[in-house]
Chain A
Amino acid sequence: MKKAILYINQFFAGIGGEEKADHAPEIREGLVGPSLALDAALKNAEVTHTVICGDNFMGSNQDEAVERILAFLEDKEFDIFFAGPSFQAGRYGNACGVICKAVKEKFGVPVISSMHVENPGVNMFKKEVVIFPGGRSAAAMRKDTKKMAAYGDKVLAGEKIGTAEEEGFYVRGIRHQVIDFTMEPAAVRGVKMLLKKLAGEEYVTELPIPKSDRVEIAAPVKDLATAKIAIVTTGGIVPVANPDRIQSASATRWGMYDVSEMARLEGGVYKTIHAGYDPAAADADPNICVPLDALRAYETEGKIGSLDTHFYTTVGTGTTEAEASRMAEEMVPFLKEHGVDGVIMTST
């Protein structure tokens, strides 16, 4: 019998709700909470252990949480790893995605999860993790678990895996060619598709183009001379110690730093941790990426009303659109609280 391990959060482990969300990672032998349903549904494996972690612990101490959980798994024998289902719970979905991705990278075993389509974890992790569409709430536990188990059984049995559509998981952006001699040739498919398009009928394109998430250009700032301006950068300028441990690529963290007492950013005090460009020039003079010196001059000249107390920073290279918009959404409340009227975005 093959072996499976399931990751769940503190709530489904019966430890507690929001008040227990800081619960540190632990591993328990045997079945806890949803493990029972998974173990019952799995034909080709038994669930030997359950990993439990508080959603907040994973959210705020991700590196530490992942490190501890990977250490728990180090001496365990397992052939497949599951997480969730996490339904519509955003932080739980994120945690499932983070740990599945890490386990897949470290141990090379298949990883499977389940989330509701609106769970942000779907878009963040569907490329790396096989995620099945799930219900909104725990009412769908049994149904969602069965889907994960059925697919897991298939993988463990070494059966041929079909397309994402056939198997039912979210598309991962993995496209391969298929030969099908029962299918009409391209010429016929093309003319049929055109007839439908001309008639305004539904048709299915064979190459869906991902929607680009365009942001409308904002209305101009009415009176620059009274406006408060902030600088936001994806150029990775941080205090040399990088206190928020922003990653050099594929960033998930950002920082805001008080520069209200400074006329310019000094090299040696600030630097870039961005791995996507030659850092020499920005390390020597960080103002070329975060133009504090120039904006102070504008402030003195009265061209702008004032400069925000802080600048906001992260790294853009390899960072996913989903992560970038999440970080922006986290920055916005601060900008609003500071009464910022306009933002200058600098990249690299």
Chain B
Amino acid sequence: MKLELGNFYVKDVKFGDTTAYVNGILTINKEEALAYVMEDEHITEADIVIARPGENKRIVPVKEAIEPRCRVNGNPVFPGVTGGIAPAGSGRTHALKNTSVLAVGKHWGSFGDGMIDMSGEGADLTHFSKLINICLVANTDEEFERHEQQKKNKALRWGAMRLSEYVGNAVKEMEPEEIEEFELGPIIKRDQKIKDLPAVVYVMQPQSQMEESGYNDLVYGWDANRMLPTFMNPNEILDGALISGSFMPCSSKWSTYDMQNCPTIKELYKAHGETINFLGVIMSNLNVAMKQKERAAVFVAQMAKSLGADGAILAEEGYGNPDADFIACFDALEDVGVKTVGITNECTGRDGQSQPLVVLSEKANAIVSCGNVSQLIKLPPMEEVIGELAALGRDGLSGGWEGDEKLGPSVREDGSVILENNSMFCGDQVLGWSQKTMREF
């Protein structure tokens, strides 16, 4: 399976008469773009706002991030989600690098939403401060969940995906500035010199812990809660087969952008043929009941072993309850002799003294740690807020609060904020960006 990602390195994004990409400048016809977004009758009002790295801007509540792309053969970028089912992971997809389309609530936030600061100290706490963000700021008619803490945010998430395709189509007919090739030969037909290298699988545990549909990560549009672990080609992940959900505290969340650019997959590709034989991805999930967690772990370990894996990298999208899935899978892999490295964040509490994972195992002896979800963060006011700052304290975002006896409200009168890392948008970057770790003090 061979995927060509044709990259266009965007230097700036502006509004203009025609949606087009010329000499590094992406121009968006706002009216046309919004008309396309508002074909979804559930979106009642919408605007597009640009936020660039270094600007004095704060974006909240952010629900999702997507890299603008198009599939050159005209198929949907997100098969089973923004169109019919078609295979992902081979052929040519074009991408507008350095940018992302954000789904931002005009008013309303929810548990899994996060915050992005485009400059200052807060910018260090999320990857998305480094990108030119095309913010779809919108309101919807989803009254059934207006006052729910958990929201599916369907109209906004789908709106942002559709906007990302609209924008991505600007480069459909153009010759990319760079082509990244991703090709993994069939496992049993590889060269002997590759077969002699240690064989490695990447085990992904995307968030799927809501029993009700509409909140979980989707694989080709299918709710990951309703699947057993399965084998996938890494190209499928890089090419839109997996999309993010709307449930997990935000720093633990993997946005669709993170999946499309998954740094761990890219790193494994880099090592493939040099130091490892990269077999592919075992797509697992995260579950509610103990039996489901154990069953998934059994499937993962069996698959890894049957594929001939010597090693695995295991990543979980979440903390707390999902730690049980993570450790069960870690144990199961080690038990069948697959040497495993886990990548996760920790929840050590505001004082740093809580047990880092809900479940521990001595077999989990190799872990890359990407941060503490409960770290307290104070940030000064920003000149401009995209979205609605009040949402951070009002709407039950996982890292914000209305009032606190000692700390006061999350959102101060002067626009400064105090929050837990939990609400920094996709801040812990377990898919591999993270330049955070945990240390003993």
Residues of A within 8 A of B (CB): 127, 161-165, 171-181, 183-191, 193-195, 197-198, 203, 205-207, 209-212
Does B318 touch A at the CB level, under 8 Å?
no
A335 to nearest B CB, angstroms? 30
A205 to nearest B CB, angstroms? 5
Could you tell me if A197 and B341 are in contact, using CB atoms closer than 8 angstroms? yes
The closest CB in chain A to the CB of B431 belongs to: A187
What are 29 A-B pairs with beta-carbon distances under 8 A? A164-B439, A174-B440, A174-B441, A175-B348, A175-B438, A176-B375, A176-B438, A177-B371, A177-B421, A177-B438, A181-B124, A186-B264, A186-B429, A187-B433, A190-B267, A191-B264, A194-B200, A194-B340, A194-B341, A195-B275, A198-B198, A198-B200, A198-B276, A198-B310, A203-B366, A207-B344, A209-B360, A209-B365, A212-B362
**Interface segment, B210-218, B349-357, B391-399?**
B349-357
B327 to nearest A CB, angstroms? 10
In this complex, which of B340, B344, B429, B441 has the most chain A Cβ atoms within 10 angstroms of its Cβ?
A: B441
In this complex, which of A172, A181, A188 has the most chain B Cβ atoms within 10 angstroms of its Cβ?
A: A188
In this complex, which of B339, B357, B440 has the most chain A Cβ atoms within 10 angstroms of its Cβ?
A: B440
Could you tell me if A163 and B439 are in contact, using CB atoms closer than 8 angstroms? yes
The complex places the Cα of A341 from the Cα of B436 at a distance, in Å, of 54
The complex places the Cα of A173 from the Cα of B439 at a distance, in Å, of 10
The complex places the Cα of A117 from the Cα of B312 at a distance, in Å, of 36
The closest CB in chain B to the CB of A127 belongs to: B353
Q: Which of B267, B270, B438 contacts A206 (CB 8 A)?
A: B438
Could you tell me if B353 and A177 are in contact, using CB atoms closer than 8 angstroms? no
Given A176-B375, A205-B365, 18 extra CB contacts under 8 A:
A161-B441, A162-B441, A163-B441, A171-B440, A179-B436, A183-B437, A186-B263, A186-B368, A186-B435, A191-B267, A194-B276, A195-B198, A198-B200, A198-B311, A205-B366, A205-B367, A206-B367, A207-B367
The closest CB in chain B to the CB of A186 belongs to: B434
B370-394 interface mask toward A, CB cutoff 8 Å, 1 = contact, 0 = none? Answer: 1110010000000000000000000
Chain A residues with CB below 8 A from B268, complex form: 191
The closest CB in chain A to the CB of B354 belongs to: A175
The complex places the Cα of A264 from the Cα of B339 at a distance, in Å, of 55
Could you tell me if B435 and A183 are in contact, using CB atoms closer than 8 angstroms? yes
List residues of B (292-313) whose CB comes within 8 Å of A's CBs: 310-313
Which secondary structure dominates where chain B touches chain A? Answer: mixed
Chain A residues with CB below 8 A from B184, complex form: none
The complex places the Cα of A36 from the Cα of B264 at a distance, in Å, of 56
List residues of B (315-347) whose CB comes within 8 Å of A's CBs: 339-341, 343-344, 346
Q: Which of A127, A174, A207 contacts B346 (CB 8 A)?
A: A207
Chain B residues with CB below 8 A from A211, complex form: 362
The closest CB in chain B to the CB of A173 belongs to: B353
Could you tell me if A176 and B263 are in contact, using CB atoms closer than 8 angstroms? no
Could you tell me if B362 and A209 are in contact, using CB atoms closer than 8 angstroms? yes
Chain B residues with CB below 8 A from A195, complex form: 198, 271, 275-276
B242 to nearest A CB, angstroms? 17
Q: Which of B312, B339, B344, B372 contacts A175 (CB 8 A)?
A: B372
Chain A residues with CB below 8 A from B341, complex form: 190, 193-194, 197
B424-435 interface mask toward A, CB cutoff 8 Å, 1 = contact, 0 = none? Answer: 000001111111
Does B266 touch A at the CB level, under 8 Å?
yes
A170 to nearest B CB, angstroms? 9
In this complex, which of B267, B344, B348 has the most chain A Cβ atoms within 10 angstroms of its Cβ?
A: B267
Does B33 touch A at the CB level, under 8 Å?
no
The complex places the Cα of A178 from the Cα of B348 at a distance, in Å, of 13
Does B73 touch A at the CB level, under 8 Å?
no
Could you tell me if A185 and B434 are in contact, using CB atoms closer than 8 angstroms? yes
The complex places the Cα of A187 from the Cα of B362 at a distance, in Å, of 23
Could you tell me if B439 and A178 are in contact, using CB atoms closer than 8 angstroms? yes
Does B369 touch A at the CB level, under 8 Å?
yes
In this complex, which of A174, A187, A198, A205 has the most chain B Cβ atoms within 10 angstroms of its Cβ?
A: A187
The complex places the Cα of A181 from the Cα of B348 at a distance, in Å, of 22
The complex places the Cα of A211 from the Cα of B362 at a distance, in Å, of 7
Could you tell me if A176 and B439 are in contact, using CB atoms closer than 8 angstroms? yes
A213 to nearest B CB, angstroms? 11
Chain B residues with CB below 8 A from A191, complex form: 264, 267-268, 270-271, 276, 313
Could you tell me if B441 and A176 are in contact, using CB atoms closer than 8 angstroms? yes
Chain B residues with CB below 8 A from A187, complex form: 263-264, 266-267, 343, 431-433
Could you tell me if A177 and B360 are in contact, using CB atoms closer than 8 angstroms? no
Does B50 touch A at the CB level, under 8 Å?
no
B200 to nearest A CB, angstroms? 7
Q: Which of B357, B360, B437 contacts A180 (CB 8 A)?
A: B437
In this complex, which of A127, A171, A185 has the most chain B Cβ atoms within 10 angstroms of its Cβ?
A: A185
Could you tell me if B264 and A190 are in contact, using CB atoms closer than 8 angstroms? yes
In this complex, which of A162, A178, A189, A194 has the most chain B Cβ atoms within 10 angstroms of its Cβ?
A: A194
B177 to nearest A CB, angstroms? 23
Chain A residues with CB below 8 A from B313, complex form: 190-191, 194
Does B361 touch A at the CB level, under 8 Å?
yes
A112 to nearest B CB, angstroms? 15
Q: Which of A165, A185, A203, A209 contacts B263 (CB 8 A)?
A: A185
The closest CB in chain B to the CB of A161 belongs to: B441
Does B10 touch A at the CB level, under 8 Å?
no
Could you tell me if B351 and A178 are in contact, using CB atoms closer than 8 angstroms? no
The complex places the Cα of A205 from the Cα of B356 at a distance, in Å, of 13
The closest CB in chain B to the CB of A210 belongs to: B360
B381 to nearest A CB, angstroms? 22
Chain A residues with CB below 8 A from B241, complex form: none
The complex places the Cα of A162 from the Cα of B266 at a distance, in Å, of 34
B181-225 interface mask toward A, CB cutoff 8 Å, 1 = contact, 0 = none? Answer: 000000000000000001010000000000000000000000000
Chain A residues with CB below 8 A from B179, complex form: none
Could you tell me if B437 and A177 are in contact, using CB atoms closer than 8 angstroms? yes
The complex places the Cα of A172 from the Cα of B435 at a distance, in Å, of 24
The complex places the Cα of A176 from the Cα of B267 at a distance, in Å, of 27
The complex places the Cα of A179 from the Cα of B375 at a distance, in Å, of 12
In this complex, which of B360, B361, B368 has the most chain A Cβ atoms within 10 angstroms of its Cβ?
A: B368
Chain A residues with CB below 8 A from B362, complex form: 209, 211-212
Could you tell me if B311 and A194 are in contact, using CB atoms closer than 8 angstroms? yes
Could you tell me if A197 and B311 are in contact, using CB atoms closer than 8 angstroms? yes
Chain A residues with CB below 8 A from B352, complex form: 174-176
